[in-house]
Amino acid sequence: MRVLPGTGPAPFVRALAGHGDRPAVITADGRLSYAELAERVAELAARLGATRRLVLLAGANQVDELVAYLAALAGGHPLLLVPGDHDTATTELTRAYDPDVLIHRVDGELVVHERRPGSRHELHPELALLLSTSGSTGSPKLVRLSSANLQANAEAIAEYLDIRDTDRAATTLPLHYCYGLSVVNSHLLRGAALILTGLSVTERCFWELFRAAHGTTLAGVPYTFDLLDRVGFDRMRLPHLRYLTQAGGQLDPERVARYAALGRRHGWRFFVMYGQTEATARMAYLPPELAERRPEAIGVPIPGGSFRLRPLPDRPDPDTGELVYAGPNVMLGYAEQPSDLALGRTVTELPTGDVARRGPDGLYEIVGRAAEFTKIFGLRVDPRRVEERLRRAGVEAYCVGTDRELVVAATGAHHPDRVRRLAAAAAGLPARVVRAHLLAELPRLANGKPDLAAVRALAAPPAAATVPSEAGPDQLCRLYAELLDQPEVSPDQSFVDLGGDSLSYVEASVRLQDLLGELPADWHTIPIRDLVRPAPDRPARRRVLETGLALRALAIVAIVGSHIPVFTVKGGAHLLLAVAGFNFARFQLTTAPRRERVRAAVRAVGRIVLPSVAWIALAGAVTGDYTLTNVLLLNSVLGPHDGATEWHFWFIEALVYILLAGAALIAVPAVDRIERRYPFGLPLALALLGLVTRYDLPSLTTRGHLPDAVVACWLFALGWAAARANRTGQRVVVTAVAALTVPGFFGQPYREAFVVAGFALLVWVPRLPSRPAVNRAVAVLAGSSLYIYLTHWQVMPLIGPWSPELALVASLAVGIGCAAAVRGLTRRLSWRQSRRGSGGAADGQRPGDRLHLQPLRRRPRPTVQLVRPGRGEPDGDLATAGDPHER
């Protein structure tokens, strides 16, 4: 076969055998030297023959697929590389381009299916590789690349990364993705080794293989770095690591700076890169030494490449324009049908579609996307800039524009209305033309990039729900709107989505059981339409009661009744500390980002502190019973410790201190990561640590007064551990620790038995059989527990001398009344504030019109649960440090 100038296999492919016995591929099953790899490549290339044919390869990060890729290039066969895990893409591209040879897996074996001995296509001599720019969608639009493109890009990458023959790169990205392919090409060029694996960086086996192979480099897209943060990458010992690379989308500048600093401390370098499939892979890189100072930049052109800025009509700044790249790695052109495979070079430079700015230091920075601007109401909107503004506000989201609206897909502990208004402000649009969807996970392509087509599909109006039930979606929507003070509720939203708090949770569970019968344990996370089931499938009269709610109600009655006293059942306050820890874990330690967790925890403390300080100040002014340290909740620290009334609010002080300590703990990034990785181990360790002060091992009491929070904090931590005890062995451990450590704490066996029994119920019996009347009573008591505790100190001296029983009833009634009054006042203030924030009505609406919240996308379970910022905290709930919010 005659080889024309500029054609034939890329030199790095021809040179494989020249690296001899050096390791080329390392897998969990063994190693392959360059000589062995070259031999296998030559065998398959010989089988493909000397006649050039169009080969389609379903790629995967496995040895056989790597050999097939190199064999097609070595034999001069144009290769159409498609994702091996997406049959639809393979089918669509096979139908569109009718390849001569199909290489794919059948029943786990890689099969070479020769569909014809020759080729039905006219193939240009320079054509070497065909890649899709649309991920795994099977779009027929392909990028045509030559061997010279592949060689030039591999050489440039190897140069600025300083790839050495001793390097060993893990294949953290798919073979069919241009970024992942560039890792393969550039390392084979230098005789380095590939750690070939399809494992995720979240899997322990990946890191075991990486360490055993002495891995030196990792590559990732932004989502990869989400996963690295999740698995605690900053704590890993990777002694052979030389550098990390990042491309495939903009990484948040804060994270760029953080990883650059981490690399500087640990002796490896962090390269931020910029590229497109049309440029084979890479066009720019940010020198690692500049990453901390200029984390927002994409850097400088790769060796052999250059940039220019094409002026844009609406951007007169000469240092800003559409980024245009030129270099030997620029594609031959696009192919949209088989006849295009005969084309030669149709482009000489690449308009990237990105708007860039060149800084005084010569570094380029992407500031927008020219091709993705959309006009809504005549306003030009850049969805990428909206995403960046949302990210700064703590919201991870993807945005796309249509002719009518801006569509936002977000994830995390946010309320859709907040996301909608943040996005509207960022885009300069009326909120009514922004559609916000809260999803369990942001849609991504197989290569980890945003799946904007999936986001665009969310613009379609949601299908109407038709679920047969005597309690239909409309009725439940009205109930949720009433309980949660929401102007409009969608059947696709859940209690948590709508910002339900701990108080409304109790009331809602009772009202829903009246309508639907027994509720699933996670009802508060289930969309309304999924709660509505056909009547025959639903128990009509069976009622259950959450043990945590029952214990809260029982404990507050026991506390007040023992103080009067009507009876003596002590230990209620200490049991409430355990329940508070239980609810702190369930409702505060969600999958939300760390900052959201901390903000929610601090707001939760505020919901306890504000009414407590207000009431104690008022009661102190009237009765003279309390000092300033009582009002400021500092009595257990500053004293006095010997008065008759100073101890009244020890429990509230202890609870506030412990919750603040919990918020401070999760504010530490390392502790936050440990909690996510060891959700049971961390609280158990804290409980065991708390035993130091429970048993006063350092003899601190001999040196002065010890605050109750320090003495009793182990109960809170043990309640936290109880919420995380998902296996029988863990439940046994929590029960055993409680049974061994509570006895002796009070020196009162009945009191200690009461607390231990409560622990056992909390751990082993999550739900109790009940009746509607009991549920209603428990809902009122549990939801008013803070106010009952605060007010009973003033009620019982007035009525107790006449009738202890009546004093108990009056104390409960006054606390319940105060809770209802505060709740009503809070709702009215919240409604007025929301009206002021929207000018008294939603944008474009008349006063009195109903504001329609944008519906959530229906999500498969399990989902990431959501908490509405500002409303996802306890509302007057003494023992709950957060909303009913399952992990």
Residues 728-739 have pLDDT tens digits of 999 999 999 999
Contact 238, 273 (CB under 8 A): no
Looking at the predicted structure, is the pLDDT value of residue 595 above 50? yes
Q: Average the pLDDT over 601-607 and give the result.
A: 86
Q: Please enumerate in sequence order all residues whose Cβ is within 8 A of that of 667, keeping only pairs 6 or more positions apart, or say none.
A: 594, 598
Other beta carbons less than 10 A from residue 773's beta carbon: 10
Span 825-846, average pLDDT: 47
Q: Which two tokens stand for residue 822?
A: 């505060």
Length of the chain counted residue by residue: 887
Residue 663 structure tokens: 């918020």
Q: Classify the C-alpha dihedral 703-707-713-715 as positive or negative.
A: positive
Whether residue 621 is predicted with pLDDT greater than 80 in this model: the reply is yes
Q: Say what the pLDDT of residue 314 is.
A: 65
Residue 847 has pLDDT above 60, yes or no: no
For position 542, what pLDDT does the model report? 55
Compute the mean pLDDT over every residue in the chain, rounded to the nearest whole number: 83
DSSP 533-567: --GGGS-SS-EEEEHHHHHHHHHHHHHHHHHTTSS
pLDDT given at position 699: 77
Lowest mean pLDDT among 93-97, 534-538, 587-591: 534-538
Residue 541 has pLDDT above 70, yes or no: no
Percent share of the chain, pLDDT over 90 = 51
Other Cβ atoms less than 10 A from the Cβ of 781: the count is 23
CA-to-CA dists, residue 195 to 78, 207, 633, angstroms: 26, 11, 59
Could you tell me if 771 and 543 are in contact, meaning their C-beta atoms sit under 8 angstroms apart? yes
pLDDT of the residue at 1:
38
pLDDT (mean) for 387-399: 90
Please state, in angstroms and rounded to a whole number, the distance separating the CA atoms of residues 355 and 366.
6
Predicted pLDDT at 854:
33
pLDDT of the residue at 445: 79
- Please tell me the predicted confidence (pLDDT) of residue 463: 35
Q: Residue 434: its pLDDT value, please?
A: 87
pLDDT beyond 90 at 829? no
What is the rounded CA–CA span in Å between residue 301 and residue 282? Answer: 9
361 vs 364, 368, 609, 773, 883, CA distance in Å?
A: 9, 20, 51, 73, 50
**More confident site: 836 or 653:** 653
Residues contacting residue 111 through CB under 8 Å, at least 6 positions apart:
103, 104, 105
**861 vs 598 pLDDT, higher one:** 598
pLDDT of residue 462: 40
More confident residue, 199 or 86: 199
- Quick one: pLDDT at residue 845? 35
In the chain, the amino acid numbered 482 is E
* Residue of 593, 594, 635 lying closest to 613 (CA atoms): 635
Q: What is the DSSP letter of 25?
A: E
In this structure, of 129-133, 481-485, 636-640, the range with the lowest mean pLDDT score is 481-485
CATH class as words, domain 11-358: alpha beta
Confidence of residue 454 (pLDDT cuts 50, 70, 90): confident
Domain boundaries in the chain? 11-358, 373-457, 548-827
According to DSSP, residue 679 is labeled: T
Strands 193-195 and 168-170: parallel
DSSP 401-416: E-SS-EEEEEESS--H
Strand partners, 381: 374
Asked if pLDDT for residue 548 goes beyond 60, the answer is yes
The sign of the torsion formed by the CA atoms of 587, 589, 595, 601 equals: positive
Give 33: exposed, middle or buried? Use CB within 10 Å, 0-12, 13-18, 19+: middle
- Using alpha carbons, select from 879, 254, 868, 227 the residue that is nearest to residue 590: 868
Is it true that 11-358 and 373-457 share their CATH fold? no
Q: Are 577 and 715 in contact (CB under 8 A)?
A: yes
776: enclosing H helix or E strand: helix 772-783
Q: Residue 882 pLDDT more than 70?
A: no
pLDDT band with cut points at 50, 70 and 90 for residue 497: low
Please state the rounded mean pLDDT for residues 760-768: 89
Residue 753: pLDDT band with limits 50, 70, 90 = very high
227-235: long-range contacts (C-beta < 8 A, 24 or more apart)?
227/200, 227/201, 227/202, 228/201, 229/673, 230/202, 230/673, 230/676, 231/201, 231/202, 231/677, 232/673, 232/674, 232/677, 233/201, 234/262, 235/670, 235/673
Q: What is the pTM of this model?
A: 0.51
SS3 of 820, please? helix
Nearest-angstrom CA–CA distance, 215 and 220? 15
What average pLDDT does the segment 280-289 reach?
A: 96
Provide the token pair at 557.
């009655």
Nearest Cα to Cα of residue 54 among 132, 145, 128: 128
pLDDT at 427: 81
**What is the reported pLDDT for 378?**
47
The domain defined by 373-457 carries CATH number 2.60.40.790: no
Q: Return the higher-pLDDT residue of 689 and 372.
A: 689
The position carrying tokens 């601190």 is 700
Q: Which residue has the higher pLDDT, 772 or 142?
A: 142
Identify the top-confidence range among 205-219, 362-376, 397-411, 616-630: 205-219
Q: What is the pLDDT of residue 428?
A: 73
State the pLDDT confidence band at 230, using cuts at 50, 70 and 90.
confident
Q: What is the pLDDT of residue 534?
A: 44
Of 39-43, 559-563, 695-699, give the lowest mean pLDDT range. 695-699
* Residue 837 pLDDT class (50, 70, 90 cuts): very low
Is residue 159 packed enough to be buried (19+ CB in 10 Å), middle (13-18) or exposed (0-12)?
A: middle
Q: Determine the pLDDT at residue 644.
A: 66
- The one-letter amino acid code at 852 reads H
Between 723 and 270, name the one with better pLDDT: 270
Quick one: average pLDDT of 27-34? Answer: 94
Among 233-242, 645-654, 777-786, the range with the most confident prediction by mean pLDDT is: 233-242
Residue 841 confidence (pLDDT): 36
Quick one: pLDDT at residue 505?
Answer: 61
The pLDDT value recorded for residue 713 is 94
Token pair in block for residue 9? 């296999």
- Average pLDDT rounded to a whole number, residues 701-726: 86
What is the β-pairing status of strands 284-286 and 79-83? unpaired
More confident residue, 639 or 754: 754
Dig out the tokens for 640 from the structure.
């006095």
Q: What is the pLDDT of residue 249?
A: 80
User: Both tokens of residue 878?
Assistant: 């003494």
Confidence bin at 813 (pLDDT 50/70/90): very high
Q: Which residues face 31 on adjacent strands?
A: 26
pLDDT at 563 over 50: yes
For the stretch 309-354, pLDDT in tens is 998 876 677 888 999 999 999 999 999 999 999 999 999 999 988 8
Give the Cβ contact number of residue 323 at 10 Å: 27
What pLDDT was estimated at residue 703? 66
In this model, does residue 567 exceed pLDDT 60? Answer: yes
Looking up tokens 């939300």, which residue turns up? 592
Q: What stretch of H or E contains 69? A: helix 63-74
Edge-to-edge strands of the sheet including 300-301?
A: 30-33, 23-27, 193-195, 168-170, 217-220, 243-246, 269-274, 284-286, 300-301
pLDDT at residue 866 in the model: 28
Residue 377: pLDDT above 80? no
Take residue 506 and report the two structure tokens written for it: 């109790």
**Could you tell me whether strands 284-286 and 406-411 are parallel, antiparallel, or unpaired per DSSP bridges?**
unpaired
Asked if residues 6 and 146 have their Cβ atoms less than 8 Å apart, the reply is yes
Q: What distance in Å separates the CA atoms of residue 63 and residue 27, rounded to the nearest whole number? A: 8
∠830-836-842 over CA atoms, to 5°?
A: 100
